[in-house]
Amino acid sequence: MNETIETTALNSIVQEDMAAIYGALTTQEKEKLRNSTVLITGCGGFLGYYFMHFFSTFSEELQLKRVIGLDNFLTGTKDWLDTLVESNPEKVELHKFDVINDTVADIPGAEDADLVIHLASIASPTFYRIYPIETVDANITGLRRLLDFYASKQLKGFLFFSSSEIYGDPFPEFIPTKEEYRGNVATIGPRACYDEAKRFGETLCYLFAQKHNMPIGVARPFNNYGPGMNINDKRLPADFAKAVVEGRDLEILSDGKPTRTFCYISDAITGYLKVMLHGSFDVFNIGMDQPELSVRQFAEIFNRKGKEIFDYQGQITFKESNDKEYLTDNPNRRCPDISKARNILGYEPKVSVEEGIQRYLEFLNNPKR
Active site residues: 194
**Alpha-carbon torsion (239, 160, 201, 175), positive or negative:** negative
Burial 59-87 (b: 16+ CB within 10 A, else e): beebebbbbbbbbbbbbbbbebbeebbee
Helix 46-57 vs helix 265-276: angle between axes, to the nearest 10 degrees? 70
